[in-house]
Amino acid sequence: MTSQGRIDVAPADWEQVVSGLQREGFVLFDFITAVDRGARLEVVARVINPATRVPVMVWTTLPADAAELSSLSGIYLGATWCEREAAEMFGVRFIGLGDSRPLLLRASLGEPPMRKSSALVARAIRDWPGAAQSTDDGRQGANPSRRRQLPPGVPEGFLRDNPLDSDVSGDVR
Amino acid sequence: MIPAEAHGTIALRASACTSCMICVRECPTWCIELDSHTEQVSDPGARRPKTVNVLDAFRIDFGLCMYCGICVDLCPFDALAWSPEHDHAATTAAGLVQGITELQTAWPPTGPPTDN
Ligand code: SF4
Ligand code: SF4
């Protein structure tokens, strides 16, 4: 075990390491979730030893475009919900997860919403308050000489009618 | 009794705000809005007048704010601070939007030091 209750494991050792922890007394399962690092997806599970109250975080790293990992639901039944959630939110495929129904979302919504590549639609359809610029003395309206700023989470040109895109489309009628 | 360091609401010191827009752009819920204009001010002794931002309006929609404190942390000019004041109840959603006057009233006695 490494310092500060963190263990980093290869994906192939994931299930075995966690099951070893359970045998050592980490019988309380806390959660599983993931972190989108772009090309990599980190998955983390937290388990606790109730006798000592010591928690351990087990981390592993998966390729974002092939995120597959053994399910922990055979070790901790309660991991099922967390894995169903991580599956629909981050697009992790848990091998051996008995119940793979989506937990919160409808099936096949497209891009898992917690991936950074998933566009934040609510942001694309609302005017971004951050797009406002100081108006010059006596003049009204945004200063056109400044560089246009796009809000985070909205890919360029995501919606054609996005008011933020109006000054890049050349076809003014 | 509410402790002085309580995170009751967010207060603004308009005189410290430079209209830099950092809080507006970083707020995850987009609940801050700011209007400003630029003015030329000439300092005695300076060769040319300098352009400064003048704050016209600052609004926080407490119907959307999730009290994450990102705006307070990121403001480079200590113009935002946590206040133990509780934001006022309202009977309409629009009533939860607070402007400069309300946000200044909440400025906490324990907030970052004032320089004026
Ligand atoms: S506390 Fe968070 S949500 Fe509220 S105004 Fe500040 S940045 Fe926005
Ligand atoms: S970050 Fe601070 S100085 Fe900048 S606009 Fe917001 S309140 Fe004003």
Q: Which tens digits make up the pLDDT trace of B50-89? A: 888 999 999 999 999 999 999 999 999 999 999 988 867 8
DSSP line for A42-107? EEEEEEEETTTTEEEEEEEEEEGGG-EEE-STTT-TTHHHHHHHHHHHH--EEET-S--S-SSS-T
Model confidence at A170, pLDDT cuts 50, 70, 90, reads: very low
Architecture of the CATH domain A6-95? 2-Layer Sandwich (3.30)
Per domain, the residue ranges of chain A are: 6-95
The pairs formed by A52-56 with CB atoms below 8 angstroms and a separation of 24 or more are A52/A25, A54/A5, A54/A26, A55/A5, A55/A30, A56/A1, A56/A5, A56/A6, A56/A7, A56/A21, A56/A26
Which of B10, B12, B15, B21 has most ligand 2 atoms within 8 Å of its beta carbon, as the pocket-test mutant? B21
Ligand 2 near B22 CB (within 6 A): yes
What ipTM was estimated for this complex?
Answer: 0.74
User: Which residue's CA is minimally distant from atom 8 of ligand 2?
Assistant: B17
Ligand 2 near B53 CB (within 6 A): no
CATH number of the domain at B1-40+51-90, out of 3.30.70.3270, 3.40.50.720, 3.30.565.10, 3.40.190.10? Answer: 3.30.70.3270
- The pTM (predicted TM-score) of the whole model is 0.67
Ligand 1 near B67 CB (within 6 A): yes
Closest of A125, A132, A75 to residue A98, by C-alpha: A75
Instruction: Report CA(A12)–ligand 2 centroid distance (Å).
Output: 48
Helical H segments across B38-99, by residue range? 70-74
Residue A109 or A145, more confident: A109
